Amino acid sequence: MTQLPPLVALVGNPNAGKSALFNALTGARQKIANYPGVTVERKSGRASFADGRPVEMIDLPGAYSLDPDSLDEAVTRDVVLGNLSGHRRPDALLIVLDAGNLDNHLRFALELIAQGLPTVVALNMIDLAERDGLRLDSQALACALGVPVIETVAVRRRGLEPLMTALDGALKNPVASIEPVATSFGAQNQRARDIARSAVISETAGRQWTRRLDAVLLHPVGGVVILLGLLFLMFQAVYGWSEAPIGWIESGFALLSDGIKNVLPNGYLRSFLTDGVIAGVGSVIVFLPQILILFLFILVLEASGYMTRAAFVMDRMMAAVGLSGHSFIPLLSSFACAIPGIMATRTIMDQKERLATILIAPLMTCSARLPVYTVIIGAFIPASSVGPGIGLQGLVLFGLYIAGILGAMLAASVIQRFVTQSRTSSFLIEMPRYQWPRPRDIAINLWQRAWVFLRRAGTIIFAATIILWALLSFPKAPDGSNVSQVEYSVAGRIADGLEPIVRPIGFNHDIALALIPAMAAREVAVSALATVYAIDAADEDAAATSLGPKLAADWSLATALAFLAWFVFAPQCISTIAVTRRETNGWKWPIFMVSYLFALAYAAAGITYWTARSFGL
Amino acid sequence: MQLDHLPLNQIALIRAIDWESLPDQEGHRLRALGFETGVTIEVLHKGILMWRDPLAVRVGRMTVALRTKVAAAIDCELSA
């Protein structure tokens, strides 16, 4: 008979250092999946007892009680109670307590101990508590709770061995819980505070560091300036640091593509591999450097405790459109790319607010729109000056960013009111103490983000780009035909059907054709237009330079402006749709998102076109 | 005195919380964060610019951010 290793669940309040302890116990050998039936992330890993027997650990989502008020908390409750179908009940609980916050965290611990599972308590971050002037008696605490209490400092790997020994003991010799099931929340709270008080040996004024830092970082004016400065630095880094690695990835794929061209004869297989697979996968992986840099910043800010401060500073402004400070970081990330932005909405506790944030994230002007904007602005907007140091082209570009933000604000208000029907947003959050982020934890997290992005979004994008390739490649135009391959293909025929629909908003047949491959990624619109205008260009940059004059000769200004307006709103990115599907666990919301964004894009382009026409442009 | 009127850096005790006036989820979260009659409380920071909203409040040894609208449901008295 094979026996599964015992399952130990780490459970505790948010900010108790649970994930750091989990990382310290399991190392990098972690598995990420979803809990059966829900989108909550399940992190599991292996640890071993002193004699080498394995034990499986899971890191349950942080919770304040077994009476849930978020999806994460519901999962924690269901796993602890053994109510989650398709998931085995843990054999033991490892309760992680923030030593510096006993009076607030102990109530949940009592609730957990009363469940009667073998239990060990990790009195974590004991060093920070001591730094804050708090000395605790863990023996007294163990007596009062009736379970072993081990002092740990997860980030310094202190107390890990005694912790595993205590877990081993608890699993081998389960003792009956002495903790009574509480009669009321209030009674349990009272008992928790009494126990916490009796465990304190001495207490001096604490928290000076955090308080002093907050006086600066939460300053009514200074705090805003610092946040803006940080954001500026972050965007500089996302664009600046990623340039070189993006170049390496691009030339790597180009080399690979050339290699295949040298080996394989011209034909479907070669075209499939180079134009389909390599171009498709390459167009995804090229985003990886920006995503990693962005996540590096986000993870460091999160681990240091600054993230809740940024949410605090921005909350009032977000409240104006029915959101809260929680939505700020995901939306901000979306300026680089909506994919990490949507992934970052996992930190939003309120599910309605999270959904609204996901739905408006694509309206933030992402980096993939820039090539399109640059080409059209360069071709149609004169490089004249409208004031000292203010160029007209820059002003138009700025206007496009603002149009996206205003569109997002409008969409957020409407969505929160009519779609999610959230009465009010709320902002109620624990502000953790500041800490130095630990490089190892950041690295593990970053690796996990990269992997999740490559594996899941990559598979869907991969499939989608292959379909696009097929649409553009078949049927083959007959030899000697004066119709180009693109026009002759299925995509070209779809464009014929699309043309009457987009004609009223000023788009011609060529634009209709360019919109189809641009579904894969917005910037592809540039190379697609270049193909349509039969320009033989080596890459997107070269295409952009020679494309401008051609477009300026062929399009009216009204059409160009309508094209820009379209790109502000249109959900032209299959990866974003794929990520939305994954994060909302179904097709309902991605379909809603795509529909409302296309409607918005169509309306915006139409209004722009006809307004421009009425001015005789 | 309601918590949203409490001056900065003044230690006070929670006298009563008007649970009825709070939406379920917020009341629940507030309770879970340790807000209760008799607990020591102190307003540490107020939000940005002219809004001065939300508030950063110390409850026991923990700091919690909450909006003034929620704070208005918490009645406290300055401790001597």
Contact yes or no for A315 and B54 at CB 8 A: yes
Q: Does position A253 have pLDDT exceeding 90, yes or no?
A: no
Contact yes or no for A426 and B70 at CB 8 A: yes
Are residues A23 and A11 in contact, defined by beta-carbon separation less than 8 angstroms?
A: no
Residue in B28, B44, B65 closest to A427 by CB: B65
Pick from A179, A206, A233: which residue ends a domain? Answer: A206
- Using the Cβ of A427 and the Cβ atoms of chain B, whether some distance falls under 8 Å is answered with yes
Whose structure tokens read 């464009």? A495
Q: What pLDDT does A190 receive?
A: 83
Q: Does position A207 have pLDDT exceeding 60, yes or no?
A: no
Has domain B3-78 been given CATH number 3.30.2350.10? no
**A61-71 mean pLDDT:** 84
Other Cβ atoms within 10 Å of A182 Cβ, number: 17
Among A496-500, A595-599, B58-62, the least confident range: B58-62
Domain ranges of chain B: 3-78
User: How many helices and strands, by DSSP H and E, does chain B display?
Assistant: 2, 5
Q: Does position B54 have pLDDT exceeding 80, yes or no?
A: yes
Find, in chain B, the residue whose alpha carbon is nearest to that of A99: B61
d(CA A595, CA A571): 9
**A133-155 mean pLDDT:** 89
Angle between helices A288-304 and A222-240 (to 10 degrees): 150
Contact yes or no for A103 and B32 at CB 8 A: no
**A607-617 mean pLDDT:** 90
Q: What pLDDT does A535 receive?
A: 47
**A509-533 mean pLDDT:** 76
- Using the Cβ of A104 and the Cβ atoms of chain B, whether some distance falls under 8 Å is answered with yes
Across the A:B interface, residue pairs with CB atoms under 8 Å apart total: 109
Q: Does position A536 have pLDDT exceeding 50, yes or no?
A: no
Q: Does position A532 have pLDDT exceeding 80, yes or no?
A: no
Range of the domain at A195: 7-206
Q: What pLDDT does A356 receive?
A: 93
Q: What pLDDT does A74 receive?
A: 87
**A150-155 mean pLDDT:** 90
Q: In a mutagenesis test of the B interface, which of A190, A352, A428, A431 is the best target, namely the one with the most B β-carbons within 10 Å?
A: A428
**B25-53 mean pLDDT:** 86
Count of structural domains within chain A = 2
Nearest to A461 by CA among A223, A227, A603, A279: A279
Helical (H) or strand (E) element with A386: strand A385-387
Residue A542, both tokens: 């070269």
Residue A320 belongs to a domain: no
Q: In a mutagenesis test of the A interface, which of B8, B29, B41 is the best target, namely the one with the most A β-carbons within 10 Å?
A: B29
Query: Using alpha carbons only, what angle is made at residue A557 by residues A553 and A562, rounded to the nearest 5 degrees?
Result: 125
Q: What pLDDT does A466 receive?
A: 75
The C-alpha of A17 sits at a distance from chain B's nearest C-alpha, in angstroms, of 15
Q: Does position A167 have pLDDT exceeding 60, yes or no?
A: yes
Q: How confident is the model at residue A212 (pLDDT cuts 50, 70, 90)?
A: confident
**A11-24 mean pLDDT:** 89
Query: In chain B, which among 39-78 make CB contacts under 8 A with chain A?
Result: 44-49, 51-54, 56, 58-67, 70
Find, in chain A, the residue whose alpha carbon is nearest to that of B34: A104
d(CA A601, CA A563): 9
Q: What pLDDT does A161 receive?
A: 92
Higher pLDDT, A261 or A358: A358
Q: Does position A521 have pLDDT exceeding 70, yes or no?
A: yes
Nearest to A428 by CA among A330, A305, A331, A311: A311
Biggest CA–CA distance in chain A, Å, is 92
Mean pLDDT of chain A: 84
Q: How confident is the model at residue A473 (pLDDT cuts 50, 70, 90)?
A: confident
- Using the Cβ of A67 and the Cβ atoms of chain B, whether some distance falls under 8 Å is answered with yes
Which residues of A are less than 8 Å from B61 in CB distance? 100-104, 132, 134, 206-207
CA dihedral sign of residues A508, A514, A519, A524: negative
The C-alpha of B2 sits at a distance from chain A's nearest C-alpha, in angstroms, of 17
**A107-123 mean pLDDT:** 92
Which residues of A are less than 8 Å from B66 in CB distance? 427-428
Q: In a mutagenesis test of the B interface, which of A15, A66, A104, A131 is the best target, namely the one with the most B β-carbons within 10 Å?
A: A104
Which residues of B are less than 8 Å from A211 in CB distance? 44
Which residues of A are less than 8 Å from B34 in CB distance? 103-104, 107, 189
Segment A483-492, tens digit of pLDDT:
777 778 888 8
Residue in A312, A313, A428 closest to B29 by CB: A428
Contact yes or no for A428 and B32 at CB 8 A: no
d(CA A419, CA A95): 39
Residue in B28, B60, B65 closest to A104 by CB: B60
Whose structure tokens read 């004066």? A482
**A551-577 mean pLDDT:** 89
Residue A312 belongs to a domain: no
Query: Quick one: how far is CA A97 from the chain centroid?
Result: 28
Q: In a mutagenesis test of the A interface, which of B61, B68, B69 is the best target, namely the one with the most A β-carbons within 10 Å?
A: B61
Which residues of A are less than 8 Å from B54 in CB distance? 312, 315-316, 325, 427
**A597-603 mean pLDDT:** 94
Q: What pLDDT does A1 receive?
A: 46
Q: Does position A605 have pLDDT exceeding 90, yes or no?
A: yes
Q: Does position A414 have pLDDT exceeding 60, yes or no?
A: yes
Q: How confident is the model at residue A537 (pLDDT cuts 50, 70, 90)?
A: very low
Residue A406, both tokens: 């205003």
- Using the Cβ of A528 and the Cβ atoms of chain B, whether some distance falls under 8 Å is answered with no
d(CA A540, CA A189): 63
**A34-59 mean pLDDT:** 85
- Using the Cβ of A212 and the Cβ atoms of chain B, whether some distance falls under 8 Å is answered with no
Higher pLDDT, A535 or A133: A133
Residue in B33, B51, B65 closest to A308 by CB: B65
Cα→Cα distances A246→A255, A415, A543, Å: 14, 36, 19
Pick from A206, A241, A275: which residue ends a domain? Answer: A206
Q: Does position A59 have pLDDT exceeding 90, yes or no?
A: yes
Cα→Cα distances A139→A121, A134, A197, A254, Å: 12, 15, 14, 64
Residue A555 belongs to a domain: yes
Are residues A324 and A353 in contact, defined by beta-carbon separation less than 8 angstroms?
A: yes
Among A201-205, A458-462, A511-515, B44-48, the least confident range: A458-462
- Using the Cβ of B25 and the Cβ atoms of chain A, whether some distance falls under 8 Å is answered with yes
What letter represents residue A519's amino acid? M
Q: In a mutagenesis test of the A interface, which of B43, B45, B58 is the best target, namely the one with the most A β-carbons within 10 Å?
A: B45
Q: What pLDDT does A465 receive?
A: 67
Segment A327-349, tens digit of pLDDT:
988 888 787 778 878 887 877 77
Q: What pLDDT does A456 receive?
A: 57
How much is the pTM?
0.77
- Using the Cβ of A223 and the Cβ atoms of chain B, whether some distance falls under 8 Å is answered with yes
Segment A378-413, tens digit of pLDDT:
888 888 887 777 778 888 888 888 899 899 999 999
Q: Does position B19 have pLDDT exceeding 90, yes or no?
A: no
Higher pLDDT, A538 or A15: A15
**B47-64 mean pLDDT:** 87
Among A59-63, A118-122, A304-308, A333-337, the least confident range: A333-337
Which residues of A are less than 8 Å from B53 in CB distance? 315-316
Residue A359 belongs to a domain: no
d(CA A598, CA A577): 13
| A499 CB-contact burial (10 Å; exposed 0-12 / middle 13-18 / buried 19+) | middle
* Percent of chain A whose pLDDT exceeds 90: 25
Close Cβ partners of B41 (under 8 Å, ≥ 6 residues apart): B3, B6, B11, B12, B13, B14, B35, B57, B58, B59, B74, B76
Interface confidence (ipTM) of the complex: 0.94
Pick from A183, A206, A229: which residue ends a domain? Answer: A206
Which residues of A are less than 8 Å from B32 in CB distance? 64-65, 69, 108
